[in-house]
A and B are shown apart, each in its own frame.
Chain A
Amino acid sequence: MISFQPTADEWSFVDLAKDFADERIRPLARECEQNRRVNPDLVKKVDELGFATLELPESWGGLELPLISQIQILESLSYGDLGILQGLPGPGDAASLIRLIPDSPVLNSYKDAGRDGSWPVVAFYHAANAILPTSEIKAVPKGAGYVLSGTSQPLRLAAFADHLVIAVTDSDGNPLILWLDKADNSWDVVEGGYRLGLLAAGCARVRFDDETVNEDRVLAKGSEAQDLLSKALSRVYVLEAAKEVGLMEAALSYATEYTAQRKAFGQVIAKFQGVSFNLADMAIETQAVRHLVRRSAENTDREESESVLSTLARAHRSLRFVTDSAVQLLGGHGYVQEFPVEKWMRDAQAQVILYGREHDLTIRHGVQILDEPIRTEA
């Protein structure tokens, strides 16, 4: 039955997240950006409330929520500040891998390390974006293990990472996923002069200099690795798209309130249709993407075939539009740091370039469509 009604549990969790976003996250957004790290007290509070373990399995002490519930909570948190959300320590995108193979012995030490509820940081490198030969990590089989070399593109959380997930195709052409621990393997963190956005998210490159990785670090390989990566990325993409909706909602509501109060030519600027129609378009885009994300989450939960790539691509496009529009509607005030919208526009642009290229995602989805048998069903 078609319904847009959240469950009572979702309502209460979302309420909690909304209040937390308003009262705790939003006020610290600038400070965390300047410090290039999320405030440790805030991290502690996030851990206490369970927001950091929505995706982790129950056997790991996580909440193991379905995606349809998680996206509503993440949307509310991201309304506070996407920059902070992306800089929260913990398993990050690797939580989706853990969710899929919670009993893998490779993960045991990480599972033990997080027993107290404070999870070490994991950065997730996958080669889906590695189209530049100069920004790739190469894995060459050596005995039962591998030798890693090369430098990644900038990754979220890499600057803080205690662990790395490396998903690559090895030099023999076999898909491979490695789980590395800083205690056993070494890599260099190469931080760039980042100024665009998500500055608290610990973006950095990682570099390997002929690092030998033992067999016991292999999380999956061959078709199993391919399947695991594909499933994990689908979940990651849904969750990231939901965060983008939260940022869109923030920009929309801020611009609404501002334009309802700001006066020019003797009236509030909301009364100019150049302003109000732009705002209506922002609302339409936000709602359209919200629904698409919910649809993708619901389908992924039900393990139905799903156009996650297309949903994320659309979220990217709409996020750029909505955050840019917010800056535009605030005029000069939108451009300066006394107002949050300039940060949101920068964060948005950083977010969309970290998580897949919009056109690539769209075309990949289009090729899937062209290769499928024709669908006549909705």
Chain B
Amino acid sequence: MISFELSPHQQQVKDVVHWFAENEMRPISMEADKSGKVPDEWLDKINKLGIQLTTSSFGEDKPKSDKKTKSERQGNRLAVIASEELGWGDPAIALTLPGPGLGGPPVQSSGTPEQKRRFLSIFSKDEPPRWGAYALTEPEAGSDVSGIRTTAKKTEGGYILNGQKIFITNGGRASWVVVFATVDRTLGRAGHRAFVVEKDTPGFTCTRLAQKMGIRASETAELLLEDCFVPEENLLGGESYYETRGDRPSGFRVAMKTFDNTRPIVAAMAIGIARAAYEYTLDWVRREYPRHGHFHHLAADVLAHAEQDIEAARLLTWEAAWRADIGKPNAKEAAICKAYSGKIALDVCSECLELLGPVGLEEHIVEKLYRDAKIFDIFEGTNQVQHLITARHLYEPFGVRV
């Protein structure tokens, strides 16, 4: 039955995460943006509470084998509900919450049981806060993942990695990073491999942290791999995963699968940003604007559009998550929700700033949200890449590859 009502469990998740966003994230939000850092003591405290950013509920968690279980799988829906609230709280802080982050899904979906145990079990509230990261982008390969140049040369017992990675969220602080490299550029996508490179591996360094327009409290690292030896057991999925010829997943597939799984989460965070700007501005307009006349109508027009864009984005995102939950392919829906949410998040923030007028320059949260929102139209696949994926799926039934 079609329904957009949250179940009691979904509502509970939303309420708990919202409470956290409002009472733990918001109070440090502006200061973290200003200093470009989430305070360490805050991260310690949060980690002790067992709060993590984990996207691995999005992915391959099979329902437990108990066939009698009647409860419907809903991890994806819960993840987008929670992510919207985290985005509402502060997207930069959300991205800095301890946990495997974007590195989680590839390990979860492609790792051997041993790798899952080794790399995913280190995140614990009884330990210091830890992070995982995901390193795909290079100076010369962003949207076109197939163009990566980082090389992996087979050697005894492992691989030697050489190359540079940029725009890596939490890349400097991560305990391990899923690094994509090619064993042979001439093989194209079939030559791609994913490695888990651990912090302090000789030849693996964080060379710089990027200064950004927004999400300033989130660490965006440049990583360098110089003759970096990575043991075989850190090849994601193990050798056998890549040996079989034919349609077995390549490293490229691993990378892409991650995106299908994480795009709805990123979309949901963007929606949270838009909603934060909208709610703040609505409240402000109610207090500051005249109750009648031209400006009242102008505000009504802008806010009605914003509310609707947010609602439409949320429904598109829920659909992508729902499809994943029930095991239907969701690559098109994931691309659509990301394209739409990334765009409207910025639009809504921009329109809200217009309603605020020049006072929006001052320390209102909306200007920060505007700066934060822009990246959501870029990372995890730009708006254009989402359009390309959407179009590919539309034309697929006609045998046309665009």
Chain A residues near B (Cβ < 8 Å): 1-7, 10, 68, 256-257, 260-261, 268, 270-271, 273, 276-277, 279-281, 283-284, 287-289, 291-292, 294-295, 298-299, 302, 307, 310-311, 313-314, 359, 362-367, 369-370, 374-376, 378
Contact = CB atoms under 8 A, between A and B. Distances in A.
B3 A1 contact: yes
Contacts of B322: 2-4
A365 B2 contact: no
Interface string B350-391: 000000000000000000000000000000000010111011
B388 A273 contact: yes
B213 interface: no
B301 A359 contact: yes
A378 B84 contact: yes
B308 interface: yes
Nearest to B314: A378
Given A3-B322, A281-B387, A287 B336 contact: yes
B391 A276 contact: yes
Interface in B320-349: 322-323, 326, 336, 339-340
Given A276-B395, A378-B314, A362 B305 contact: yes
Interface stretch (B24-32, B55-63, B248-256, B278-286): B278-286
B100 to A, nearest CB: 26
B187 interface: no
Nearest to A299: B4
Contacts of A364: 300
A301 to B, nearest CB: 10
A292 B308 contact: yes
A252 B5 CA distance: 29
B1 A257 contact: no
A289 B297 CA distance: 24
B300 A3 contact: no
Contacts of A310: 304, 307-308
A370 B400 contact: no
B338 to A, nearest CB: 11
Interface residues of B, number: 57
A327 B323 CA distance: 32
A302 B14 CA distance: 22
Contact of A292 (B5, B300, B315, B340): B315
B227 interface: no
A167 to B, nearest CB: 24
Residue of A276, A298, A299, A302 with most chain B CB atoms under a 10 A cut-off: A276
B124 interface: no
Contact of A2 (B3, B302, B312, B388): B3
A370 B394 contact: no
A369 B303 contact: yes
B300 A369 contact: yes
B301 A292 contact: no
A268 B304 contact: no
B402 A363 contact: no
A1 B72 contact: yes
A1 B307 CA distance: 22
A277 B235 CA distance: 37
A4 B391 contact: no
Interface in B65-122: 72, 74, 77, 84
B296 interface: yes
Contact of B391 (A1, A280, A369, A370): A280
A262 to B, nearest CB: 11
Contacts of A4: 2, 318-319, 322-323
A375 B387 CA distance: 32
Nearest to B280: A374
Contacts of B303: 366, 369-370
A314 B308 contact: yes
B210 interface: no
Given A5-B326, A363-B297, A369 B3 contact: no
CB-based closest 7 A-B pairs? A366-B300, A366-B304, A291-B315, A260-B398, A276-B391, A280-B390, A288-B312
A370 B286 contact: yes
A246 to B, nearest CB: 16
A294 B4 contact: yes
B391 A277 contact: yes
Contacts of A271: 400, 402
Nearest to A288: B312
Nearest to B286: A370
Contacts of A363: 297, 300-301, 304
Contact of A307 (B10, B308, B384): B308
Given A307-B308, A359-B301, A366-B304, A288 B340 contact: yes
Nearest to A373: B286
Given A1-B10, A298-B3, 18 more contacts: A2-B7, A256-B395, A273-B387, A276-B394, A277-B384, A280-B387, A283-B336, A284-B390, A288-B340, A292-B315, A295-B315, A298-B4, A299-B4, A313-B304, A314-B312, A365-B300, A366-B302, A369-B304
B368 to A, nearest CB: 19
Given A260-B400, A369-B282, A369-B303, A288 B316 contact: yes
26 contacts: A2-B5, A2-B7, A6-B2, A256-B394, A260-B399, A270-B391, A270-B395, A270-B402, A277-B387, A277-B388, A280-B387, A280-B388, A284-B316, A284-B336, A287-B319, A288-B316, A291-B312, A302-B5, A311-B308, A314-B312, A365-B300, A366-B302, A367-B297, A370-B282, A370-B285, A370-B286
Of the candidates A270, A273, A310, the one having the most CB atoms from chain B within 10 angstroms of its own CB is A270
A374 B304 contact: no
A132 to B, nearest CB: 20
A370 B296 CA distance: 9
Nearest to B321: A2
B299 interface: yes
Contacts of A374: 279, 282-283, 286
Nearest to B289: A370
A284 B383 CA distance: 12
A5 B2 CA distance: 5
Contacts of B282: 369-370, 374
Contact of A366 (B18, B286, B299, B316): B299
B339 A284 contact: yes
A7 B3 CA distance: 11
A287 B323 CA distance: 14
Contacts of A365: 300, 304, 307
